[in-house]
Amino acid sequence: MVTKHLGVVELRDIIEDNIVECMELSISPEQSDFVAPNAETLAEAYILTVNNAALLKPYVVYAEGQMVGFIIYGKWADNNEYHNWAIMIDKQFQGRGYGKSAIELLLSEIRSQPFGAADKITAAYEKQNTASQKLFKAFGFTESLTPTPDDEIVAELWIK
């Protein structure tokens, strides 16, 4: 099992022993328009992968040995970009910096370009999701002028 550490935060592979717990993580009701349930995201990742539309890598986020969140990134098959598909920290553990540490670990992995060369990293979020906007901006992401087909904001970070 792959584990990546930053302080008390770790990214661990999703395996048989932790997948159910991952799918039980939850957000507050007011965030439900911003983040799909983890089971839905994992199902979408499976379908995209088996159809060769994308290469995806999901992780569970642990802090001090306890599962606190979920994060997934990947690379579309038809373009030269990595994409942060989702990040969620369970409602009980928000506001402690775990999301920021998870993104930092994820960006470090993406910069090694595990699925091949790419020019940039993107993330998409709803206009009202100020927490995601602030999080990605802290890492140097800038907002694109072109929204997604679902009218989400696209934030971009060029890989150096």
Can you give the CATH number for the domain in which 118 is found? 3.40.630.30
- The domain containing residue 91 runs over which residues? 3-158
Q: How far is CA 101 from CA 1, 7, 40, 41, 157, in A?
A: 20, 8, 24, 21, 17
Residues 6 or more apart whose CB falls under 8 angstroms from that of 14 comprise 22, 42, 58, 59, 60
pLDDT at 157: 96
Give the pLDDT score at 3: 64
3-state secondary structure of 45: helix
pLDDT of residue 2: 54
Residue 146, pLDDT score: 87
**Ordered per-residue pLDDT tens for the chain, 160 residues:** 556 666 789 999 999 999 999 999 999 998 988 999 999 999 999 999 999 999 999 999 999 999 999 999 999 888 889 999 999 999 999 999 999 999 999 999 999 999 999 999 999 999 999 999 999 999 999 999 888 888 899 999 998 6
> Which residue's structure tokens are 């206009």?
127
Q: Give the separation between CA 118 and CA 109, rounded to whole angstroms.
A: 13
Structure tokens at 99: 């999301």
- DSSP code per residue over 49-111: HHTTSEEEEEEEEEETTEEEEEEEEEEETTSSEEEEEEEEE-GGGTTSSHHHHHHHHHHHHHH
How many folded domains does the chain comprise?
Answer: 1
Task: Determine the Cα–Cα distance for residues 14 and 29; give it in Å rounded to an integer.
Answer: 25
Cα gap 56→67, rounded to integer Å: 20
Residue 133: helix, strand or coil by DSSP? helix
Give burial (CB, 10 Å; 0-12/13-18/19+) of 70: buried
